[in-house]
A and B are shown apart, each in its own frame.
Chain A
């Protein structure tokens, strides 16, 4: 299984061997190679976070997983099973959550899909399986929303993508339980380039959850995923991400949704880890009355920079969008909100509401807000508000006078601050997030 393929460094040969290793059709290899050229031709973005430390020749671009895809839990190798147990996976399984895709290194080794989903015609497979089993759908939609020309990291992902999910929900099918993807990076010098494609057909509903944790390593890792979502008329998709990469990971992600008539797209995005995150999920509101929502949380600690935000592009009449961004900067961390709301001349009657709140916990930390509102019709309403402050002394005083020690009081106030996001998460994620924040807050009394 573990054929030695050259996967460190980024060359024509690397891309060819990845594609060959996955036995891909020719068209996919061609797309990869074309994207590689675009990637090499393009300079690093100069705006936003500092990427000057990135050395693309350092990373491994592909690493086959130690076992073939499995469907049964007990068939998994014991070592990997323990890793997942620490992540709480078996519990999630017990709780009858839908098919769990667990990604260990870059290939999916564990996959289970509940039969009733399959009976409804819902497709939930790895991207590789998608290419093999549904070539027509994949060929039609892959790269349509995020073409390799879009940005340097989209080109990189297209060239070396590996793993990720392919989901198709047939018309009028409501997937009642969230579909989850759990994955993990645990090898140094190793980049992950998931590619996810979701197609929610007319009137369907889907909630997709991705959460990631990664152990700490000394050398920088790179994560450059691409997510493309097509929300057909009257469908609704919610995409939840809880991201807790180790503090050496560059997380450079392109996420975009195409939202048609009366459809709803919701992004829920929590960024807690990584060294640098640059992520601006986007909704292109293409059909009349389409609605886009973004709810995000960023937490930056020592030497971390969370450069996150959202893009809402209103192309059709009566479209609406809402952005709620919360951020916490501590121990010298930096959070930036960077957003775009664009209302095209045709989007008469469009509405957009943006609200950014930032907490700065100590004098070394920093918080920025860079919103851009482009309004090209007089028949639209855009409202933007942002606040930056520290923990309120009044609230702190109130809680300490009620008997909480200062640390506990601070943790409670921060928990209250992020409540609007936590409320939108499934229970086990909410618990996990609260616990993570509590851990982060330990020793943050200043």
Chain B
């Protein structure tokens, strides 16, 4: 199984991945934006052959006046029988940040399983309150929860990814 890690930076990104027979890929897309940052991502996953599997996990978010556009397209071509594709996207918005999320599917055959889930939201006020009640300052509580947002799930078992992520988050 191949794992790709993509760190988003402000600006435009165009990423296309093609999957061959029985190829399995996990793609992680991560990014945090602040101030007047603008980012636009177009991610295309093309299943061209049978029994290919893809898993895409997206965690992006922003604060201040950040503007985020994420467009993902999973295409399963007619010859890609028994393909499986899964996309999970979460977007965290704080302050005046805005997002546009477009998770698209184009499925051209039947022996497949494709799904996507996308959610957009803010921090849970209950969690913020809980952390502050335990003595954290509002800013600390907020930072803590932003880190937790990136740590969700169990896909960071990969040591090097784990390390990169920790480094990135400590710079926030």
Partner-B contacts on A (CB < 8 A):
345, 358, 360-390
Stretch at the interface among B109-117, B133-141, B143-151: B109-117
B115 touches A388 (CB 8 A): yes
Nearest chain A residue, comparing its CB with the CB of B94: A378
A384 touches B100 (CB 8 A): no
B116 CB contact (under 8 Å) in A360, A369, A382: A369
Q: How far does the Cβ of A396 sit from chain B's closest Cβ, in whole Å? A: 13
Nearest chain A residue, comparing its CB with the CB of B75: A368
29 contacts between A and B (CB under 8 A): A360-B109, A362-B110, A363-B78, A363-B81, A363-B109, A366-B106, A366-B109, A367-B105, A368-B104, A369-B104, A369-B105, A370-B102, A370-B104, A371-B103, A372-B100, A372-B101, A375-B99, A375-B101, A380-B120, A381-B119, A382-B119, A384-B101, A384-B117, A386-B103, A386-B115, A387-B115, A388-B107, A388-B113, A388-B114
B107 touches A367 (CB 8 A): yes
The interface bits of chain B over 77-103 (1 if a CB of A lies within 8 angstroms of the residue's CB, else 0) are: 010010000000001011111111111
Number of A-B residue pairs with CB-CB distance less than 8 Å in the complex they form: 111
Q: How far does the Cβ of A321 sit from chain B's closest Cβ, in whole Å? A: 14
Flag whether B118 is at the interface (Cβ < 8 A): yes
Q: In this complex, which of A364, A372, A378, A384 has the most chain B Cβ atoms within 10 angstroms of its Cβ? A: A378
Residues of A within 8 A of B109 (CB): 360, 363, 366
Say whether chain B's binding surface is mostly helix, strand, loop, or mixed. strand
Flag whether B21 is at the interface (Cβ < 8 A): no
Residues of B within 8 A of A361 (CB): 110
The interface bits of chain B over 7-28 (1 if a CB of A lies within 8 angstroms of the residue's CB, else 0) are: 0000000000000000000000
8 A Cβ contacts from B16-70 to A: none
Say whether chain A's binding surface is mostly helix, strand, loop, or mixed. strand
Residues of B within 8 A of A372 (CB): 100-102
A374 touches B107 (CB 8 A): no
A384 touches B103 (CB 8 A): yes
Cα separation A382 to B117 with both chains bound (whole Å): 11
B119 CB contact (under 8 Å) in A370, A383, A390: A383
Q: Which 3 A-B pairs have the closest CB atoms?
A: A378-B93, A360-B110, A369-B105
Residues of A within 8 A of B99 (CB): 373-375
Cα separation A375 to B108 with both chains bound (whole Å): 30
Residues of B within 8 A of A379 (CB): 122
Q: In this complex, which of B81, B97, B106, B120 has the most chain A Cβ atoms within 10 angstroms of its Cβ? A: B120
Given contacts A373-B101, A378-B95, contact A389 B113 (CB under 8 A): yes
Cα separation A374 to B71 with both chains bound (whole Å): 12
A380 touches B118 (CB 8 A): no
A385 touches B115 (CB 8 A): yes
Nearest chain B residue, comparing its CB with the CB of A356: B105
Other contacts beyond A374-B100, A384-B103: 6, CB < 8 A: A360-B110, A373-B101, A373-B118, A382-B119, A384-B117, A388-B112
B93 touches A375 (CB 8 A): yes
Nearest chain B residue, comparing its CB with the CB of A337: B105
Cα separation A384 to B121 with both chains bound (whole Å): 12
Nearest chain A residue, comparing its CB with the CB of B76: A388
Cα separation A363 to B106 with both chains bound (whole Å): 13
Residues of A within 8 A of B103 (CB): 369, 371, 384, 386
A366 touches B107 (CB 8 A): yes
A363 touches B93 (CB 8 A): no
Q: How far does the Cβ of B103 sit from chain A's closest Cβ, in whole Å? A: 6
